[in-house]
Amino acid sequence: MTIEEAQNKVDEWIKTYGVRYFSPLTNMAILTEEVGEVARVMARTYGDQSCKPSDENKNLADELADVMWVLMCIANQTGVDLTDAFVKNLEKKTLRDSHRHKDNPKLK
């Protein structure tokens, strides 16, 4: 599935099951919450924190998909084409950082 197809699927789902998009500000708060859930899984799976019983069924892939979902909601409701935005962002990073990381002694 392409990014464009995913954005369209989210839009179709919202219009079919979700009634309407939450406000952009509400979705920003939800995005922050979902990123926090990713952080929780990362801290407990790859970091030093131990799991609580409520953490046992948490799945990194599902939490990352939740972040993508809300991000696509925000993009859809604000008119952002994420495919175009990603291509431009990759070009920007390539121009800016093409030698930066290769020349970083901390990464060698």
Domains in the chain, please, with CATH?
A: 3-81 (1.10.287.1080)
* pLDDT-based confidence at residue 10 (cuts at 50, 70, 90): very high
Q: What is the DSSP string of 29-80?
A: HHHHHHHHHHHHHHHHHTSSPPPPGGGTT--HHHHHHHHHHHHHHHHHHHT-
pTM higher than 0.85:
yes
What tens digit of pLDDT does each residue of 31-58 get? 999 999 999 999 999 999 888 888 878 8
